[in-house]
Amino acid sequence: MYEKTEKTGFKAFIGVTFLIGFGFFTMGLMDPLYDTYVPLFLRRYIRSNALVGAIMTFDNILQLMLIPIVSLWSDRTSTRIGRRMPFIIVMLPLSALLFTLFPSAAGHSLTALVILIFCFNIFKTSVRGPVVSLMPDTIPGEFRSEANGVINMMGGIGLIVGTLVLAQLMNISESLPFIIAGICIGIAVIVLYTGVHEKPLSGRTEEQPPMLKSLRLAFSAGDSSVPRILGALFFWFMAYEGAKPFLGLYLVEVMHTAESNAALAQGVAGISSVIMAVPVGYLAHRIGRRNFIRLSLVGAALVLFLIPLSGFVTSSLLLNVSAGGSLVIFLILMFLYGAVWMGIVVNSFPMLWQMASFGTVGVYTGLYYMFSQGAAIFAPPITGFIIDAAGYEGIFIFGGICMSIAWVIMGGVKKGEASSDRLPA
């Protein structure tokens, strides 16, 4: 699928990595608009926030089930244009088309809106696994941290464009940002299809093991590296997904900011994530992926523990610090959190892929999403209960504890480094 180039290193793969990154750009473009405005559309018909929340978790449940299935399906697909591209050129344009219809459905009826949510998430969730798996199919194992940094940067740019540019167009027309996003996604599909060339699977001689056999091999590969990294990522996503839904409420109800500033924390963290996405891949290549992830986990735990501590200090000991000063401290900590979070997510996927063979890349991609989306489903109710029982500060302490547990679990991971194990042929 690719040739190892010792002289040029990752430079030989930068171009194709950016092209693959357009797939992640589309995800980053759709997600913030969907997460922000679809709940508002639902609230026009539904009074209950709990019911709105239940509908909005539908995509997480689908990701838990569909991504592993479709990723495995794409592993076993053999066509003239490759094994991932057929899913991309069908499901991504359909996702874009359905995405443009959200304002119209919201204006028609609740039934139309709910049906659209269901259909859109089917296609959007199904295409995620093939899009993600396209990178390890194309980039050698030793350069996947750098490549994952680039494509995460592209996803982050999409998120910033979605939140800071397209969202502002809602003041002109509700349909305009959704239509522009759909057009951008269509262009991205053309870029992927014309710029990224997969080789047909029929030219491969590697065995395609059944799913159950692939899972048995993954969890009995001579050591506990696979189950350990999956367990660790479950806990660090418990921390991340547990805090994310409540950051806006924390700003409004604790920091007393205006509702228009409720997205500040995620925005600041997103900016630092984009800045650090590429450097953390290169740094991990130098000091080792496991070491860098564990270092990032320490940083993430410290930041999360410092948030309630800084609130206590500014409110109890430094009475001359203004509310604005407290907000600045919190946003600085969130900026640092976004940076160390990139150190974790950029390097964890490449570690898993390094333990896979060419025939099981999709299986390992599915396992990643199974555990991360499991955390996304379980964490918000837990942190919501913690807020009710102990206040908002409790979610940051919970997150720090989860990051610490992940640090301990990662200590036993033996495989997944850029220079170790086999490089898929």
Same domain, 38 and 178: yes
Integer Cα distance of 323 and 197 in angstroms: 54
Same domain, 244 and 158: no
User: Is residue 425's pLDDT more than 60?
Assistant: no
Query: What is the number of structural domains in the chain?
Result: 2
236-245, 263-272, 305-314: range with lowest mean pLDDT:
305-314
Same domain, 133 and 255: no
Integer Cα distance of 133 and 362 in angstroms: 6
Integer Cα distance of 190 and 212 in angstroms: 35
For residue 410, give both structure tokens: 């990662």
What does the pLDDT read at residue 422?
A: 44
Same domain, 109 and 225: no
Integer Cα distance of 18 and 193 in angstroms: 13
Of residues 69 and 335, more confidence is placed in: 335
Residue 111: which residues within 8 A CB-CB, separation 6 or more? Answer: none
Integer Cα distance of 74 and 76 in angstroms: 5
What does the pLDDT read at residue 362?
A: 75
pLDDT tens digit sequence for 223-233: 688 889 999 99
205, part of any domain: no
Tell me the mean pLDDT in the region 266-286: 87
Which of 200, 227, 255 corresponds to the end of one domain?
200
Largest CA distance in the chain: 70
418, part of any domain: no
324, part of any domain: yes
Residues of the chain with pLDDT > 70, as a percent, come to: 85
425, part of any domain: no
Same domain, 160 and 65: yes
Length of the chain: 425
What does the pLDDT read at residue 424?
A: 39
419, part of any domain: no
Residue 97: which residues within 8 A CB-CB, separation 6 or more? Answer: 182
CA dist 184 to 161, 181, 233, 383, Å? 11, 5, 31, 36
118, part of any domain: yes
For residue 40, which of 180, 183, 185, 170 has the smallest C-alpha distance?
170
pLDDT tens digit sequence for 195-225: 888 765 554 545 556 666 666 666 665 668 8
Domain of 97 in residue numbering reads as 1-200
Place of tokens 């396209």: 134
What does the pLDDT read at residue 114?
A: 93
What does the pLDDT read at residue 323?
A: 52
Same domain, 136 and 224: no
What does the pLDDT read at residue 311?
A: 59
CA dist 111 to 46, 116, 335, 366, Å? 12, 9, 40, 31
Same domain, 171 and 296: no
Which of 200, 232, 255 corresponds to the end of one domain?
200
Confidence band for 423, pLDDT divided at 50, 70 and 90: very low
Same domain, 139 and 286: no
Same domain, 240 and 344: yes
Is 196 within 8 Å of 134 (Cβ atoms)?
A: yes
Same domain, 318 and 383: yes
Same domain, 339 and 375: yes
Is 238 within 8 Å of 228 (Cβ atoms)?
A: no
pLDDT tens digit sequence for 376-422: 888 888 888 888 888 889 999 999 999 999 999 999 888 888 765 44
Tell me the mean pLDDT in the region 49-57: 73
422, part of any domain: no
CATH of the domain at 281: 1.20.1250.20
Q: Which amino acid is at 317?
A: L
User: Phi and psi of 361, rounded to 5°?
Assistant: -55, -45
User: Phi and psi of 238, rounded to 5°?
Assistant: -60, -40
Which of 168, 200, 232 corresponds to the end of one domain?
200
Same domain, 346 and 376: yes
